[in-house]
Amino acid sequence: MKKYNVGVVGATGLVGREMVRMLEKQNFPVANLRLFASQRSRGKTLKFKGKEIVVEQLTPSSFKVSSPGEKPSLQARLDIALFSAGGSISKEYAPLAAQEGVFVIDNSSAWRMDPEVPLVVPEINSHTLSKDKKIIANPNCSTIQMVVVLAPLHRKARIKRIVVSTYQAVSGAGQKAVVELEEQVSAIASGKKVKPMVFPHQIAYNCIPQIDVFLENGYTKEEMKMVNETKKIMEDDSIAITATCVRVPVFRGHSEAVNIETERKITPQEARQILKKIEGVVVVDDISKLKYPLPTKAADNDETFVGRIREDQSISNGLNMWIVSDNLLKGAALNAVQIGEELINRKMLGS
């Protein structure tokens, strides 16, 4: 099997580390792996397939390939780069990598709504990938887990409207957010006061109905990401979507209460049968045995879990469901690696 030179930008962050782990777990055909981060992380090492790989500092020349006549670079020429370093870094460095012929799969929101950039969930819209479009956007974590469940139902019965409320883990805000929850739980248990630093309010034993900043329409950026990204991925601007996104004191795994209205009636049993056939989706739905998706069960699992599928009795063609997935895996790192796998399957990588 042909192997490829792969880079991970932002390798020492929560998602970056998971990207490295997913490359190994998925047995991605890596010839050479290069890891990039800021000056602060330069020289650190991460393990990949039993070897310690030294983290390089990301610079404008990191992706530069030697010109004809120059001494060949000792650095591996990259075929693909997975980015998880924030929007400003992506805006600066993704085009530099793309200019050198590197496929960039970016986990930030920087490129998602650019009409020239594919926004990809491989199970749904891998046909939007192109040899000529070197920058590829990885969708928002809460969007990915919702659309992998809803897209098959949309194909079957056409979804007219989506109402979603999310309950999102602190890991979605990075390592500092995880530490903040840990420290607040410990402080409260010791009778101490807490001072929020990452979140606008105490997160331990609390729910915060704000993820990202508020916009003029009263929604947060996170909520509008779900609205706009869902329409782009499902290639249907006619779907009416509204979202409320809440941060909850869970370390790992986003949960979503989703209500859909369809053009054609679809029963809960029919929906279960459709979803049971979808790769990467697991139906956990037996209320007689109190079986339904939980973030504690979804954590560190690749699949997206769906349950509590039931008829919305307030309208003619409506369903309610509960969707849970590991936000760091299918919601980020795993989806990015799967996009890379799709590039190989479509013979776009290294060609």
d(CA 290, CA 59): 52
- Domain range list for the chain: 4-138+332-345, 143-169+207-327, 174-202
What averages of pLDDT result for each successive group of 10 residues across the chain (351 residues)? 95 97 98 96 96 96 68 69 96 97 97 98 97 97 98 98 98 97 98 97 98 98 98 98 98 98 98 97 98 98 98 98 98 98 92 57
Reported CATH class of domain 4-138+332-345: alpha beta
Q: How far is CA 251 from CA 179, 248, 335, in A?
A: 10, 9, 20
User: What per-residue confidence (pLDDT) applies to 64?
Assistant: 85
Point out the catalytic residue in the list 127, 201, 245, 254: 254
Q: What are the tokens at 6?
A: 């792969």
The angle subtended at Cα 312 by Cα 310 and Cα 313, nearest 5°, is 115
245 is catalytic: no
Q: What are the tokens at 113?
A: 């709504």
Strands 45-48 vs 51-57: parallel, antiparallel or unpaired: antiparallel
Strands (E), the chain: 4-9, 30-37, 45-48, 51-57, 80-83, 103-106, 135-137, 159-168, 240-247, 254-262, 281-283, 304-311, 318-325
Point out the catalytic residue in the list 141, 154, 201, 207: 141
b/e per residue, 117-142, with b = 16+ CB within 10 A?
bbbbbbbbbbeebeeebbbbbbbbbb
d(CA 203, CA 181): 6
User: What per-residue confidence (pLDDT) applies to 351?
Assistant: 57
Q: Does the domain spanning 143-169+207-327 belong to CATH 3.40.50.620?
A: no
Q: What are the tokens at 295?
A: 């973030």
User: What per-residue confidence (pLDDT) applies to 273?
Assistant: 98
254 is catalytic: yes
